[in-house]
Structure 1
Amino acid sequence: MAPVSEAAFSLHEAADGRRTLALSGDWTLARLPASIAAFEASLRAQVGAETTWDLHGITRLDSVGALTLWRAWGGKWPKTVAVPPVLRAIIERAAAVPVDSARPERPAYLSGGLLLVGGAVLSGLRNLAGLIALFGQLVLDARYLLFHPRDIPGREFSANIFRSGAQALPVTALVGFLIGVVLSFLSALQLRTFGADIYIVNLLGISIIRELGPVLVAVLVAGRSGSAMTAQIGVMRVTQEIDALATMGVSRSLRLVFPKVAALALTMPLLVVWCSAAALVGGMVSANLEMGLSFHYFITALPRVVPVANVWIGLSKGVFFGFLIALVSCHFGLKVRPNTESLSSNTTTAVVTAITLVILTDALFAILTRNVGI
């Protein structure tokens, strides 16, 4: 067996001024220096018209060593090189591999925060393009199902309704009830100062039905159902189940994305009604204990002081929020690469992005409906 030696080179200068760079040792990934970039730079410094490269001393050469040499040469063969045919074939194969060498050098002014901002903007634009493309695919799927009702994924649709709707009832009711109690208690302290105790019905009705209920449910669903959707699709990406579906000719958007988006868009308004009702019950109980406001007065005054338009605004928000959460969750699930780190990071990004879009959409609703139901 040939002795194993580190990759090295030595420069020899003849009396007539000719320079010969002799390469020796094993030019493999295991035997190259720890800093391959520094080693490549030292090789590049030896490149010259009068230098002869002698590669006969190389005992082993792999693709990493060949690419290191090729990059040091500037992507072309030196003017004078002595290389055995076997090594020449390895270097030529490595040179045929496309290398991202056209990337421009980073300007000096692009540093720190500017790079972070630019990267975030570009990433946001890429995700926006992906969301638009996924939305367009869903529109095509809906059109296809309209003319082919037998292909409607009924089981997937019902399963997603159960997971994202029925199983979310306990936590949304509990959180809604507690939020109603806290909001009623804090409002009572301020209203009592001005002798406006009876207006707590107006305050709770408008704030919960119009704003708090839809946003609270959206945040809970994004953290609960949205993350589960991203993780489910991401695991299917890791285990190559989505590739298997494509091999069998099954549309991933029709079987995976469409049922989730449609189910969450349907269940979110129902969850909004459920959570808002629980919050109003909590507020009613707190108002009775804190201010002595009777249950009968609260129930009879609520329809009079809260126009029905606020109910429709809350339900409309639920539909939009559910659609956005499911769309964002499925988008980031499909972006998962086959490793666990990508799965965790995309799940986190999906939840954060969904909640951010929910808040932005809620602000847009507030602007568009500022003269409705008030």
Structure 2
Amino acid sequence: MPSDLPVDHNPRHQLITTEAGNSCLQLTGSYTLVSLNPSLPAVARELAQLASQPGLYWDLTNIHQLDYAGAVMLWQIWGEQRPDHLLLRPEQEQMFQRLEKVVSLPEPTQRKWFLPVSLLGQQLLRFFDHLAGMISLSGQIVLDIVYLMTHPSRIPVREISANLYRTGAQALGITAIVGFLIGIVLSYLSSEQLHMLGADIYIVNILGMSIIRELGPMLAAILVAGRSGSAMTAQLGVMRVTEELDALTVMGIPHSLRLVLSKIIGLSLALPLIVLWTSSVALLGGLLAADLQVGLSIRYAVTTLPDAVPIANLWLGLGKGVVCGMAIALIACHFGLRIKPNTESLGEGTTNSVVTSITAVIIIDAIFAVAFSSIGIRVAG
């Protein structure tokens, strides 16, 4: 109803009695931040006392100006809900409708005395959740392999070739540089100690066994996990963000057959070749350093290398490459498919993928070291 009262910029209120005998609190003046600033505590306290009366009518139609500061004050006095009897103008109605949609802040969490135990339990649940997801994905890959054995024409040859190029050929540069430098460092450290004992010829044994059996596969797998594994996770994550995975599902193209299986096959074929390449370059760097440091002939080193290092160590290193390649691709695809359609999840998933892949590589290397401890090692008896 229109107001016949004079305009007053101060916040005022008066309690009147309607024709029906009901108590009505009529607000007049301006309920804005500027007008409320000098007397906000007093006005809020008086209105809160009056609001405690049961069945009170609130009439806001005579307010000259009302902004969100005044609306929030009234909303808090009402206990964040509308009173049973309220008269508003249309523009005031819109303000309170917005306030009704505002989500209240969560209550501060109480201190948990068993917080370390709770966090440990959450981490264990997350671990078993990821483990179950990878087992499920592995089972789907086995089913896809069986399907491809009965339908050879459906083998994703182009996808496998593309993954071989991206994870193998494009990784030759960085693996060669790192392997060459590691070979030089290892040769300098060992040649100094052996030269003091007059056992320079055993540099070949140390370089051959350490690089071919351990360092070569480990370096190659860790570099590929950080380079190719993160790229696989990011690729699947971007496909999730851009809804390309949903489009493949709509078209009836399975993710595991076209995306996951091709990456696993490609990396399991590429990583053994990278291991062989990295070990060769690392041996070359080590022998060059030994030649410069103690004058060990490279021709002599190459001639005695097959006798110093049994061929079983080479096959063991290549076997590590196959297993690590499959594990890295499986972990990368698992985390990639679990990324949610937002950029924060993309970064978190890629980081978790790299960390988990490197951890898995170290665990696989430890398992190989224990399981094949009696193979390829000559023990003096």
Give the conservation status (yes or no) of the 8 Å contact 1:202–1:306. yes
**May I ask how many residue pairs the two structures share in their alignment?**
325
Correspondent of 1:326 among 316, 324, 329: 329
**1:325 and 1:281 mapped to 2: Cα distance?**
28
Q: Residue 311 of structure 1 corresponds to which residue in structure 2?
A: 314
| 1:152 equivalent in alignment to 2:155 | yes
Q: 1:199 matched to which residue of 2?
A: 202
* Compared CA separation, residues 215 and 14, structure 1 to 2 (3 A): closer
Q: Give distance in 1, aligned partners of 2:156 and 2:315.
A: 29
Q: Which whole-Å CA distance do the structure 2 matches of 1:153 and 1:367 have between them?
A: 36
Question: Could you say what secondary structure the match of 2:93 adopts?
Answer: strand
Alpha-carbon separation, structure 1, partners of 2:334 and 2:274: 23
Deviation at 1:257, TM superposition (A): 0.8
Match of 2:239 among 212, 232, 236: 236
**What are the equivalent positions in structure 2 for 1:204-353 lying under 5 Å apart?**
204-353=207-356
Distance 1:338 1:21 in 2: 49
Give the Cα separation in 1 of the matches to 2:121 and 2:59: 43
- Alpha-carbon distance in structure 1 between the residues aligned to 2:31 and 2:333: 51
Q: Does 1:108 align with 2:112?
A: yes
Equivalent residues in 2 for 1:26-41, closer than 5 Å: none
Partner of 2:135: 132
Structure 2 unaligned blocks of 5 or more: 3-29, 34-43, 62-66
Task: Name the CA shift for 1:321/1:14 in 2 (closer, same or farther; >3 Å).
Answer: closer
What is the identity, as a one-letter code, of the residue corresponding to 2:137? L
Q: Contact 2:313–2:376 at 8 Å: present in 1 too?
A: yes
Determine if the alignment matches structure 1 residue 59 to structure 2 residue 62: no
Instruction: Give, in whole Å, the separation in 1 of the partners of 2:233 and 2:135.
Output: 18
Deviation at 1:251, TM superposition (A): 0.6
The alpha-carbon distance between structure 1 residues 320 and 55, as it changes in their structure 2 partners (threshold 3 A), is: farther
Preserved contact between residue 11 and residue 22 of structure 1 (Cα < 8 Å): no
CA distance in 2, matches of 1:231, 1:275: 26
AA paired with 1:348?
A: T
- The alpha-carbon distance between structure 1 residues 60 and 162, as it changes in their structure 2 partners (threshold 3 A), is same
Equivalent pair of 1:11/1:21 in contact (CA under 8 Å): no
Q: Distance in 1 between matches of 2:178 and 2:217?
A: 13
Tell me, in whole angstroms, the C-alpha distance in 2 between the residues paired with 1:364 and 1:189.
32
Look at both structures and tell me which one has the larger radius of gyration over its CA atoms: 2
Quote the Cα distance in structure 2 between the aligned partners of 1:269 and 1:238: 33
SS at match of 1:249: coil
Counterpart AA for 1:171: I
Aligned equivalents of 1:323 and 1:24: distance in 2?
A: 71
Do the aligned partners of 1:24 and 1:59 also contact (CA within 8 Å) in 2? no
- Tell me, yes or no, if the aligned pair for 1:138 and 1:258 is still in contact at 8 Å: yes
User: Structure 1: any 5+ residue segments left out of the alignment?
Assistant: 26-30, 73-100
Q: For residues 57 and 299 of structure 2, what CA distance do their matches in structure 1 show?
A: 97
- CA shift, 1:118, in A, is 3.6
Cα deviations across residues 279-319 of structure 1 (Å, max 9, x unaligned)?
11111111111111111221121111111221111111101
- Asked if the contact 1:206–1:306 (Cα under 8 Å) also holds between the matched residues in 2, the reply is yes
Aligned partner of 1:110: which letter? F
- Residues 1:143 and 2:146 are matched in the alignment: yes
Aligned mates of 1:148, 1:129 — CA distance in 2: 28
Change (3 A) 1:225 1:64: farther
C-alpha separation between the residues in 1 aligned to 2:370 and 2:56?
76
Measured in 2, the distance between the counterparts of 1:181 and 1:115 equals 48
**What residue in structure 2 maps to residue 85 of structure 1?**
none
Shift of the 332–21 alpha-carbon distance from structure 1 to 2, 3 Å rule, reads farther
> For the residues of structure 1 that align with 2:75 and 2:139, how far apart are their CA atoms?
48
How large is the Cα RMSD of the aligned pairs? 3.6
Q: For structure 1, which segment, 170-179 or 180-189, has the greater mean C-alpha deviation from structure 2 after superposition? A: 170-179
Shift, 1:193, TM fit: 2.2
Question: Per-residue deviation at 1:65?
Answer: 5.3
CA–CA distance in 2 between the matches of 1:354 and 1:348? 10
Code of the aligned partner of 1:292? G
Residue type of the alignment partner of 1:278: V
Distance, in Å, in 2 between the alignment partners of 1:24 and 1:246 is 56
User: Closer, same or farther in 2 for the Cα pair 1:59/1:135, shift >3 Å?
Assistant: same
Secondary structure, aligned partner of 2:159: helix
Task: State the identity %.
Answer: 49
Separation in 2, partners of 1:191, 1:255: 53
2-structure distance, mates of 1:68, 1:20: 25
Contact 1:12–1:21 (Cα < 8 Å) also in 2:
no
On the 8 A contact 2:32/2:68 being kept in 1, the answer is no
Distance across 1 between alignment mates of 2:330 and 2:365:
17
Q: What is the alpha-carbon distance in structure 2 between the residues aligned to residue 220 and residue 350 of structure 1?
A: 13
